[in-house]
Every structure is written in C-alpha cells, then in structure tokens.
Structure 1
Amino acid sequence: ALAYALLGEIGGRATHHGVLQVIAVVVAAALFGAVPHVALGKGPALDHVARRVLTVGFAAVCFQPLYNSGKLGEWVGHGPAFAAVIVALLVLTALCDAVLAAAMAHTRTLPHGLKGMGGTPSPFGPILKDELRAMLGIGSAVCATGAVMALAVAVAGLWALPVFSLPLLLTQLSFRRYAAVRTTYRQTIASLARATEIAGYTPQGHARRVAALSRAVGRELGLLEPDLAVLEHAALMHDIGQLSLLDPVPAGATAALPEAEQRRIALLGGAVVRQTGVDGDVAVVVERQADPYRDQPLTARIVRTANAYDEMARGEGPGGPLNALERLRLATGRDYQPEVVEALARVLARGK
C-alpha cells in the first residue's frame, strides 16, 4: 500500500493516479483481504483498517500532488535527492501512523480486569513512546520495503511486485509463528496464575484484578511496554508461592502475615517462576514482594501496592475501596511508595 502511494512511474512511464485512487484501491484491497477471515467467522478489526487507510492516504497526499504536477521533479530531479525525499516522506508517514495508533489505544478502556470498575483511558505519552519504539523494528522494515518496491516498479515494471511479495509472504509466516509462541507463553502464565485460585488459596479473579491494576498504574507512572509486560506477568503470578503452604491463608491475604512468612512465600514463588522458563525479570519481581519497598524495583512496588489494595477492598462493603485506599496512604511511610499509591488513586478515580 505504501509502495502504491509513492508510485510515480511503471517501467519508465508516468502513472498519473491521484490520492483518491490510492485510497480507493487500498480500501478495496483491505476488504478483499478480509473475505477469508469473514468466511471463518472472524471479521476485520475496523480500527486497524481505518488506521491503515489513513496512514496510506497521508503518504499519498504528501507525494502524489507534488509528483503529478511536476514540482517534485523540478525541485529534486530523479537522482539520490529523489530517494532522500521518499525516505523523508516515509519518516513522516511512520510518525503519522504512530500518532494514530497511540490515539486509538488511548481511547480504549483498561484490560478486562478493570472493566468492572468502569475503565479508564491510558495516558497518551507512554503509549506514543511505545509506538515510536515499535517503529524502529517492523515499522522501519515496512517503510523501507515500500520505498524500494516503488522505486523498483518505476524501473523494472510490474514484474518487481512478485519479486518483493515472496519475501514479504515468508516474513508474514515467520511473524505468525512468533505470535503463536507469544500466545502460548501468555496462556502458560495465565494457567499458572489460576492454579492458586483452583486450589482455593486465593479468591477467584484476584490475580487478574491485580494484573490489570498493576498495568494501569505502570502506565500512569510512564513505564514502557517491555516493563509493562514484566509487570503484568509478575502480577499474575505473584501468589504462586502460596501453593507451598499446608493450609491456605484466609482469603489469600498474605499482606497480613508476618514479614518472615511473606518473604518465604515470595522466594518460593520466585523459584517456581524460574522453573517455568518465564522471563527472569518476572521472577525477581515475585521474589522481592516482601522486601521493604525502598529496596524493591518499581515494578515490585506496583505489584505490592495493587495486591494490598485488592485484598483490603474486597469484602468491606460499599466503602471498601475508599477505606483500602486510605489505609494504603497511611502506610506509605513504611510499606508502600507514596507515588505508587497516588498513581493508583488516579487510576481508580478515572475508573469510576
């Protein structure tokens, strides 16, 4: 789609197609590509289709009028300067796509664990940073391929399309395998997180709620996606050490246990996480749940605060959440980082 938006010639002959034609072709191609998914009962994600069309339309608006009017040729010619202009347009297009992606993510509610609390948009700044970081990987490869395809078709004609499409197809298959591995990884973590619930050591949905709250607080504090992933996985598995107990803690409330017992459970939980092959950073967060908060990494402080809030707020009636938050604030000098507690308060306030 980017190659078509930046196409000015086919085998040395001018194309003269305009912005509206580019948009129409991209929309038609997106609908045609969605047919197999619809046949399998999986409709296309309309927000992704709209983002793709808007991004390609932006590239076409920047390139086609200048090229068709001849001004681009007058200004830079058809040598290295022309390629530099294409690269500059692709950089602007990538920025446009990142802003669109961040805006769409900003309007979505929190993960499922907080939907019952009303949901709240994530801060725009950290989301945009994540999108820009992602552009350095697959985004730069997509942009570079689009530019090279457009330049190759201008010289070699339409035969350049199948030459470039085959590597793209292989890349897509590899990416799908990678996505399948990631899905299996997340399912393994979710299954381990449910083990304590199935065994009766923690209440139903506790790990999921703590994970959703932790991720929201991490976003509020400006953590980027890699740290948010570690935070979410650690929050899901933070109670796994309770499986070592002979008798379950009432309601799974480990925050009320003696510090030595909390530390033993945390270390056992970290040992279990390390044996599963999960990222070692996740195990560190789980192991350090019972340490003094000043000695913990920020991710561990967030999980500890979210866990304590969920334990305190559950079963205290309508005033439970407010009372729990007040208790956390009173304990900020000893057990919880004040900035984390206030970030949690902002997340909860927006979720009402």
Structure 2
Amino acid sequence: MIIQGAPLGMQWRQHHASGHHAQLTQALLIVVTTIVAAVSLLWTVLTGFAEPRAALAFGVLIALGELARIALPGQREVAPIASAGAIGYTFLLTAGGETVHHQAWQVVAVVAMGMVLGELPHITVGRPPRWGDLARRLFIIEILANAFRPLAASLDPRDTHWWPGLGIMALLVVAVWLIDSVIAGAIRAERLRTPLRVAFRDEIRAQIAIGMAIGASGVLIALAGSVMGIAALLVFTAPLLVTQIAFRRFAEIRLTYLQTVRSLSRVTEVGGYVETGHSRRVSRLAHAIGCELAMRESEVLELEYAALMHDIGQLSLRDPIPSGATVLAPPREQRRIAELGAAVIRETGVLDNVAELVRRQCDPYDETTDSPPPLGSRIIKVANAFDDLVGESTDRDRIEAVVQRLRMDSGSEYDPRVVNALARVLERERTDGERTGQFRIVP
C-alpha cells in the first residue's frame, strides 16, 4: 500500500478539515425534512393559520432559541429553547382556557419558519448552521406532530382524567429522543467510520441530560399553557435557559482543555525536538484508528490528548533525537521519555488517564502478559512509529516499507489488531482520495 499526491501530513489536514466522506444519511435526512417542511408551509398558507396569536408566540420563541443555539463537545449543535418551544407547541391543547385546533401541518410550518428566522442572523455574520443538526431537530418535530396532533382532540388537560394524556406525551418524548439518537449515531458513524452501536451509545450518553431537560420543559410549557396562556412560555423557558448556560460553560471548559493541550504539544516543535506537525498528525491518525477499533467517544478524546502530548518528555533531553523520531531511539531512552512526559501531564491534576496512556506508549505488545498496555497506548505506539518513519514523505517505496515493517513486528512490538486497523484506515483513504481527486493511496 503506497501513497500518491500531497504529503501525508497535508492529506490528513485536508481529510479532517473538510470531511470528504459522503454522508448519505445526512443528505437523505436534509432532503426529506425540507420536502415535508415545504409542503407543510404551503398547505398552511393555503388553508390559513389556526390560533395565529399562539402560532406567532411560539414561532418567535423558536426563532430566539435557534439564535441562542450552542455547540457541545463532539461537534454537536443543539438549540434547547427552540426544541422545547417546538415540543410545547406540538403538545399544546388549550391556551388560556380556549381549545386550540392547529394540525400537524401547521406545527411543522411554524417550527420551520422559526428555525429559518433564527438562523438568518448567524448566516449574515458568516456562521452557517450545521444543516444535519438543523434537519434533525425539525425532522423529530415532524414525527412528533404527526404522531400526537391526531390525538389532541380526544385529550383535554382540564379533564380530571388527564394522566393518560401526560403519559402519551412522555412516551412520545422518549420515543423521538431515541429516534433522534439513532439518526445522530448513524450520521456520526458515517462521518467517523465507527460502528453504529458505538456511535449510538455515545449519543445516548452525550444527550441524555439535555434531551430529558428539553423534553420535560416542552411538556410543562404545553400543560401550563392551558392555565397561564402564552405567559407559560416565559415562565418555563427560564429554567431551561439556566441549563443551557451551564452546558455552554461545560463546552467552553472542554474546548479550553483541548486548546491548552494543543498549545502544550507545540512546545516540542518550537524547541526543535520533533518535526513540525508531528504531534497533530499522530493525534489525527490515532483518532482514526480509535474510531476504527470502536472506542468510545470519551476514550477517543483521551487518546487524542495523549497523542498530542506523547513526545513532551523529549524536553528533558540534553541532545534532541534526530528528527524527533523516538522509534529510532534505544528502548531505555524511549521509556525514559514516556515516563517524564507522563509525570508532566500528571501535574495538571485532571489528566491522569492521559498520563497513563503516555507512560505506557513504549511498552512492547505481549498478549500473554497479565497487564498489557492500554489500547490507547498501543494505538499511539503504532501511529507514532508510522509518522516517525514516514513524516511528510511522498516516497512510495518508503511508505510501503514502513507498513510492512509494522506488520513484521506485529505480535512482539506492535498490536496486530492496531496495525490492521491502520491498514484499513489507509485503504479507506485511498478509496476516498480517488473519489475526491485530492490524494490517493495506491495498493
């Protein structure tokens, strides 16, 4: 397996920056959602809006919620207030004591218009939405509206026997949340090339807290609307706004961690201990291998951190290793560098797991031992060796020789499973490269 085209480092930058993978699930979702929204809007305009005051109030709330959308770790975009408002409008049975009669078509039309209006300011200032996430939010409301609104005529919160209606709302919220997690997992699996079961599990863990908060708020808005009218929108979106601020701060902390780690990883490059871009290339390759081996999102994040800082122990060297290629250093020197790097990382007090991955990155693979190196350490070992020996070279024979060398040392020095995963990643890059025409990996 050999590579043609741009240097390997450039190839990985292009691949991860632009996302060359054809995301068929996302494209299909966008098309279906857009068609349903367009038909709903046309039908509603032709037949007229029922209870226009309520429609306007919810539409404004959804627009403001989209304007205040937030980005969560893992490239996830959510709009808690907009989603809660959309759910509330879907479940709305009465407003200030008066029964509402809007149908599913109108729900979809109002939500779609609110989302579009909320996205316009972002687009104006050059922050386009993630169309896949936007389509998911609207698609879930389309399902929810078509499932609930036909039942609305038989439900009345003023009735003493209103518990069945609440139960139906709760079941539908859980059902559409699971559907949303499946869709998000399918899109994520397609983008990262990881198994669907792993992506689905990651989505469940990442969105269960905010998903339940959104669903509960939407149900409360709908039920409170029967007593308080439109004023319920203000009362019950306030707690969700506080929750959204907390999630935003959490995302900012995660982003600060990553930026700090990236800055720390560049110290070895600035000091001339490793080649420029080495840590980033190893991190990206390790990420791809981790996804290929079905690692959880939290494990992949720790793997990225460790891969970025895997060479930080070289700062203790009196004389830098030529080109920073630790794979060419004596085993004793490799272990010393890993130990010192782990000690530096442990000083942060919050990255102990990352420090352990760095500490054991040089341990040889031995499947018979009672305590083999963690999978993350084995991945870093393979990714680092590959980039140490290849770097940004475009020489075909050199790359072929490196892949074969890793294979020959599998079982004694490198984990065969990791090496095979590396080969699959490179083979996939060949296929994607041939389709996009930007670079190729030739067998």
Fold agreement, TM-score > 0.5: yes
Amino acid at match of 1:99: V
1:274 aligns with 2:346: yes
Question: How many Å apart are 1:154 and its aligned residue?
Answer: 2.9
Greater mean alpha carbon deviation, residues 314-323 or residues 156-165: 314-323
Q: Could you report, residue by residue, the CA deviation over 1:57-97 in whole angstroms, capped at 9, with x for unpaired residues?
A: 111121112324x3x68xx9953222221111111110121
Greater mean alpha carbon deviation, residues 273-282 or residues 330-339: 273-282
Amino acid at match of 1:85: I
The 5 Å alignment of 1:32-111 reads: 32-68=117-153, 70=154, 78-108=161-191
Question: How many Å apart are 1:214 and its aligned residue?
Answer: 1.1
Return the alpha-carbon distance in structure 1 between the equivalents of residues 160 and 292 of structure 2. Answer: 48
The question of whether the paired residues in 2 share the 8 Å contact of 1:267 and 1:287 is answered with yes
1:340 aligns with 2:425: no
The count of aligned residue pairs is 337
Q: Could you report, residue by residue, the CA deviation over 1:257-281 in whole angstroms, capped at 9, with x for unpaired residues?
A: 1111111000110111122344210
Identity %: 45
Specify which structure has the bigger relative contact order, considering alpha-carbon pairs within 8 angstroms and separated by 6 or more residues: 2
Question: How many Å apart are 1:242 and its aligned residue?
Answer: 0.8
Return the alpha-carbon distance in structure 2 between the equivalents of residues 126 and 230 of structure 1. Answer: 16
The match for 2:15 is: none
1:11 aligns with 2:96: yes
CA 16–275 in structure 1, closer or farther in 2 if over 3 Å, else same:
same
Q: Could you report, residue by residue, the CA deviation over 1:108-147 in whole angstroms, capped at 9, with x for unpaired residues?
A: 3x5xxxxxxxxxx343331111112223222122112222
The question of whether the paired residues in 1 share the 8 Å contact of 2:194 and 2:294 is answered with no
Q: Could you report, residue by residue, the CA deviation over 1:185-208 in whole angstroms, capped at 9, with x for unpaired residues?
A: 111000011111111111121111
The 5 Å alignment of 1:1-352 reads: 1-68=86-153, 70=154, 78-108=161-191, 121-294=193-366, 295-314=372-391, 315=393, 317-352=395-430
Q: Could you report, residue by residue, the CA deviation over 1:242-297 in whole angstroms, capped at 9, with x for unpaired residues?
A: 11111211121111211111110001101111223442101111111122334211
Return the alpha-carbon distance in structure 2 between the equivalents of residues 143 and 85 of structure 1. Answer: 13
Return the alpha-carbon distance in structure 1 between the equivalents of residues 378 and 345 of structure 2. Answer: 18
The question of whether the paired residues in 1 share the 8 Å contact of 2:287 and 2:304 is answered with yes
The question of whether the paired residues in 1 share the 8 Å contact of 2:288 and 2:425 is answered with yes
- Structure having the larger proportion of residues in helix: 1
The question of whether the paired residues in 1 share the 8 Å contact of 2:360 and 2:373 is answered with yes
TM-score, with length taken from structure 1: 0.89
Return the alpha-carbon distance in structure 2 between the equivalents of residues 278 and 196 of structure 1. Answer: 22
Question: How many Å apart are 1:39 and its aligned residue?
Answer: 4.2
Q: Could you report, residue by residue, the CA deviation over 1:209-230 in whole angstroms, capped at 9, with x for unpaired residues?
A: 1111111111111111111111
Q: Could you report, residue by residue, the CA deviation over 1:147-168 in whole angstroms, capped at 9, with x for unpaired residues?
A: 2222222343222111112122
Return the alpha-carbon distance in structure 2 between the equivalents of residues 167 and 173 of structure 1. Answer: 10
Amino acid at match of 1:28: M
Q: Give unmatched runs, 5+ long, in structure 1.
A: 111-120
Question: How many Å apart are 1:320 and its aligned residue?
Answer: 3.2
SS at match of 2:363: coil
Return the alpha-carbon distance in structure 1 between the equivalents of residues 250 and 137 of structure 2. Answer: 22
CA 321–59 in structure 1, closer or farther in 2 if over 3 Å, else same:
farther
SS at match of 2:102: coil
Q: Could you report, residue by residue, the CA deviation over 1:30-60 in whole angstroms, capped at 9, with x for unpaired residues?
A: 2222243234332222222111111111111
Amino acid at match of 1:307: N
TM-score, with length taken from structure 2: 0.72
Q: Give unmatched runs, 5+ long, in structure 2.
A: 1-85, 367-371, 431-443
